[in-house]
Structure 1
Amino acid sequence: MNEWLLDMGRFVLQMSILTLLVVVAVVVIARIKGETGERVRLRVDELNERLEYRRRRLSLAATEPSARKRLAKAFRRDDKSRSRAGRKQADKPRSTVWVLDFHGDLKATGAGRLAEEISAVTAAASEGDEVVIRLESAGGLVHSYGLAAAQVDRLRDAGLSTTVCVDKVAASGGYLMACAADQLRAAPFAVLGSIGVVAQLPNVHRLLKRHDVDIELLTAGEYKRTLTVFGENTEEGRDKLQSDLDNIHDLFKQHVIQRRPALDIDKVATGEVWYGHDALEKGLVDALGTSEAYLVSRMEEARIVSVRLEARHAMGKRLGMAISEGVAGGVERLLERLDASRWERR
């Protein structure tokens, strides 16, 4: 027994050393090749073909084994028929629906990628094409989402029909982007609105004063600083910040009403949010429905092409991301298991 444990210990030690050597070799090779930056590749997926492939697989699975061979032959005949029809209609190609995705964070960090994707689509799109943006964002910094909204406006300036689909949330800066579309669709329980502006910061001046700590703040310019975290705030500073917020709110409302002129802006620019059905009644959206349902309906008459720029990270970074995601996934599964255990009975 002791000899078996000794052999097992040697094996584990050897495997650990081998794994460490492999990791070190990968890092060294990555540095030698200079893979310290990120490369970007364009990923293009034809969603019509993907849906048809899945439909056929499910049809075969639902068919009796004795009839699957005949069904597979029927699929091949359909392919030949489509190929002949496509050659005959080569002079009259179908329109294309270009699909982009935007998942926003506080700083709208995806705006740069979205800008490049829009540049690629506007260069390749033809007359009669449509651009669908599947948008999800709860908003964030004013200047960041102002830039992201300007990117969506480029599609309108290019004369492309634009549809924004909101499955979960387009609030505040997210709605600033969404309202630029020719058609705005939302799922029945998607959250929309929040046409407002907010600013908040803590102030620890009284705490510091209690401990005899002074903060010296020097500025050049009357309103270089209005409210601060450490200094003593004044009514004049509060009034100035409020005035700035009101001005940004007015710009927000003007942006929305220029793109959705039928909207009663005074009723919806209160900072409130509404779910899909209520948003439709108030004119914040044009129709209800999920993005998947809309794209499937468009497949009858158009090619659906998903376009996405993806970063190809360096080898070392990919390894680090894989380890990080593995740890995060393990913690998440543990928390889910603990939460589920509350409902289990033994």
Structure 2
Amino acid sequence: MEWLADYAMFLAKAATVLLALVVLLMLMVSLKDRHRRPDGTLTVNKVNEQIGRMTERLAQSVLDKKAFKLRQKGRKLEAKARNKGSRDTAERPRVFVLCFDGDIKATAVDHLRQEVTAVLEMARPEDEIVLKLESGGGMVHSYGLAASQLVRIRDAGIPLTVCVDKVAASGGYMMACIGDKVLSAPFAMLGSIGVVAQLPNFHRVLKKHDVDYEMLTAGEYKRTLTMFGENTERGREKFREDLENIHRLFKDFVARYRPQLNVDEVATGEVWFGIEAQQRALADDVKTSDEYITGRVREADVFEVHYVTRKRMQDKLAGGFTGIVDRLLLIWASRFHNQKFW
């Protein structure tokens, strides 16, 4: 078994050298790209053509040859008539579909701002922008910036439709309410017009173990509540005032873009589903994004627009190295499991 130990030692040395080379390469690339912003690309997909290809594929599988040929002939005649008519009439309206999948920091706003900028350069008043929105809310300033991107669309005079298939709550609804139309899936959650903040306090634990914590500030309310110091009732009261002020700004913002909404009735932090949201004017109609967009395909040219950021070299290397390590650990765990139980 001595040869096996020597072989294992050789593998360990080789793995160490490989790891050192990868870390060195990542460090060099990181230093090179540290001040360079990652490049991004705008991708555009015409939904009309995508649906047409899927329908054609299904028809080819379902219909017999004769029926399929008749269908193709009919579609060619329809396309010819439509092209002839388009030369005599105004250009078909266009619909630009954007997506926003929000986390607590609303990091998707980095892509949304690029997409909005690009679309506003092309969009006309007779066109439409559809936002497929999903977010349970998050940080106030982050979602304030995300909502500002949609305000740009309203200010440009381009109709904005917001589709909520799952959830648009808190900061998510702050974004949704800007739409000229808000559509909700039957069981999508809308609302949660409220503000929440929470933090633990370890002061008594530190005091029990004779640990002193000092915090120096300039300005009476520079720090109201803290995790490690002793909080005062005066600090708590100021913190509550700040929350109430943010809540008031939130309600004013919603009321500005949805005047038909009774803000005092719904600004309780509650959420409502589908028809309930429509009854309270949080939504204008109960409909999924698929249903709405498919309907628009029949009368307009629909384009899905995505801004994609290209990964930097160190991110690719890190991802590849992590994948290799994960696979090795999986193999090792599998063999260990087999030896132990089989």
Structure-1-length-normalised TM-score = 0.81
Q: Match for 2:150: what amino acid?
A: V
Q: Match for 2:236: what amino acid?
A: R
1:256-305 deviations in Å (ceiling 9; x for gaps): 01111111111100011111121111111000011011000111111110
Q: Does 1:58 align with 2:55?
A: no
Q: Does 1:86 align with 2:47?
A: no
CA RMSD in angstroms comes to: 3.0
Gaps of 5+ in 2: 330-342
Q: Is the 8 A contact 2:138 2:170 kept in 1?
A: yes
Give, in whole Å, the separation in 2 of the partners of 1:325 and 1:48: 37
Q: Paired residue for 2:339?
A: none
Shift in Å, 1:242: 0.1
* Displaced runs of 4 or more, over 3 A: 34-37, 318-329
Distance verdict in 2 for CA 1:319–1:288, change over 3 Å: farther
Give, in whole Å, the separation in 2 of the partners of 1:208 and 1:272: 37
Q: Match for 2:75: what amino acid?
A: D
Distance verdict in 2 for CA 1:326–1:89, change over 3 Å: farther
Q: Match for 1:272: what amino acid?
A: E
Give, in whole Å, the separation in 2 of the partners of 1:161 and 1:318: 39
Give, in whole Å, the separation in 1 of the partners of 2:324 and 2:70: 44
Shift in Å, 1:193: 0.6
Give, in whole Å, the separation in 2 of the partners of 1:85 and 1:118: 30
Shift in Å, 1:318: 3.2
Q: Paired residue for 1:125?
A: 123
Q: Paired residue for 1:40?
A: 40
The residue matched to 1:198 in structure 2 has which SS?
coil
Q: Match for 2:119: what amino acid?
A: V
Give, in whole Å, the separation in 2 of the partners of 1:305 and 1:246: 41
Shift in Å, 1:327: 8.7
Give, in whole Å, the separation in 2 of the partners of 1:316 and 1:203: 38
1:114-169 deviations in Å (ceiling 9; x for gaps): 11111111110122000000000000000000111111111100000000000011
Q: Match for 1:78: what amino acid?
A: R
Shift in Å, 1:79: 3.6
Q: Match for 1:162: what amino acid?
A: L
Give, in whole Å, the separation in 2 of the partners of 1:252 and 1:96: 32
Q: Is the 8 A contact 2:135 2:172 kept in 1?
A: yes
Q: Paired residue for 1:339?
A: none
Q: Match for 1:251: what amino acid?
A: L
Q: Is the 8 A contact 2:131 2:161 kept in 1?
A: yes
Q: Match for 1:204: what amino acid?
A: F
Q: Is the 8 A contact 2:125 2:159 kept in 1?
A: no
The residue matched to 2:256 in structure 1 has which SS?
helix
Q: Paired residue for 2:333?
A: none
Give, in whole Å, the separation in 2 of the partners of 1:164 and 1:321: 35
Q: Paired residue for 2:145?
A: 147
> Among residues 183, 186, 207, which one is paired with 2:205 in the alignment?
207
> Among residues 175, 178, 182, which one is paired with 2:176 in the alignment?
178
Distance verdict in 2 for CA 1:327–1:187, change over 3 Å: farther
Distance verdict in 2 for CA 1:55–1:195, change over 3 Å: same
Give, in whole Å, the separation in 1 of the partners of 2:325 and 2:291: 35
Give, in whole Å, the separation in 1 of the partners of 2:69 and 2:236: 73
Q: Is the 8 A contact 2:29 2:313 kept in 1?
A: no
Q: Paired residue for 1:342?
A: none
Shift in Å, 1:76: 5.8
Give, in whole Å, the separation in 2 of the partners of 1:324 and 1:81: 53
Distance verdict in 2 for CA 1:322–1:192, change over 3 Å: farther
Q: Does 1:257 align with 2:255?
A: yes
Give, in whole Å, the separation in 1 of the partners of 2:301 and 2:324: 37
Give, in whole Å, the separation in 1 of the partners of 2:320 and 2:57: 31
Distance verdict in 2 for CA 1:130–1:327, change over 3 Å: farther
Shift in Å, 1:85: 3.1
Q: Paired residue for 1:75?
A: 72
Q: Match for 1:157: what amino acid?
A: D
- Count of residue correspondences: 309
Q: Match for 1:310: what amino acid?
A: V
Q: Match for 2:213: what amino acid?
A: I
The residue matched to 1:89 in structure 2 has which SS?
helix
Write out aligned runs for 1:90-109 (5 A): 90=87, 91-109=89-107
Gaps of 5+ in 1: 1-5, 332-346
1:60-99 deviations in Å (ceiling 9; x for gaps): 11123xx16x624742663465146325413511000100
> Among residues 278, 281, 287, which one is paired with 1:280 in the alignment?
278
Give, in whole Å, the separation in 2 of the partners of 1:214 and 1:247: 33
Q: Paired residue for 2:289?
A: 291
Give, in whole Å, the separation in 2 of the partners of 1:79 and 1:214: 82
Structure-2-length-normalised TM-score = 0.82
Distance verdict in 2 for CA 1:319–1:276, change over 3 Å: farther
Give, in whole Å, the separation in 1 of the partners of 2:119 and 2:295: 21
What percent of counterpart residues are identical? Answer: 47
